[in-house]
Amino acid sequence: MATTHEIDKESADELASKKVAVPLGTAAHYGFLKQMEHFGIDLASLEIVDMAPTDGAAALAQGSVDFACGWGGGLARMKEHGNILLTGAEKEELGILVFDVTSAPTDFVVENEEVVAKFLEVTAEANAVWNASQPAEMLTKIAVESGMDEEAALASLSTFSFPSVDEQLSEAWLGGAAATFMKGVADVFVESGSIQSSLDSYEDAVTVSPLAAIK
């Protein structure tokens, strides 16, 4: 989330009565609600406009909205015209998790747990190498595969963190907060009409055995 008028977390109360661009029915929508709750901003005081991140970024740049929510390239453009309200780490403390996933069908994971565990082990080793020294050869490979030059790839990677296996298994992630986050997002999806219903709990939807196997 990016804000104009030099508003940051120390002056977040000034967001009341402002106009905000939010991609409704998305995880960013959930993050917006949690942040407004954290700062004590009355949603009824806001003019909330449903905008995709790229449109929200354009509106922020033009001064058509006072703050905007989004991700990816849209968020990157928002940051050119406003302040970030909370960092990723600060949002994690509020239970707002922002992460990329590698997904597979449930049946495949269950039937091929050893293969999945090996994949996770290789991924964890690569993450550890990057975290330790950011080798030039890794950056070159990442840049080529992502279709970016090395400077752009490094700038993009600087916004990421790569948690260790222990961190992923902790209460802050797969051991607790992930299921709570999934429930919160699912409820927002139900309210927006994106899905018909949500589960009472998503704890059973988080399976950590392949990851725990590589410790």
Separation of alpha carbons 161 and 170, rounded Å: 15
pLDDT, tens digit, 9 for 90 and up, residues 15-64: 999 999 999 999 999 999 999 999 999 999 999 999 999 999 999 999 99
- 212 contacts 164 by C-beta, under 8 angstroms: no
Domain 2-93 has CATH 3.30.70.270: no
Q: Residue 171: pLDDT above 90?
A: yes
DSSP string, 145-183: HHT--HHHHHHHHTT-----HHHHHSTTTTTTHHHHHHH
State pTM to two decimals. 0.79
CB atoms within 10 A of CB 128: 12
pLDDT, tens digit, 9 for 90 and up, residues 70-99: 988 888 889 899 888 998 889 988 888 888
Separation of alpha carbons 98 and 96, rounded Å: 7
Q: Where are the domains of the chain?
A: 2-93, 106-212
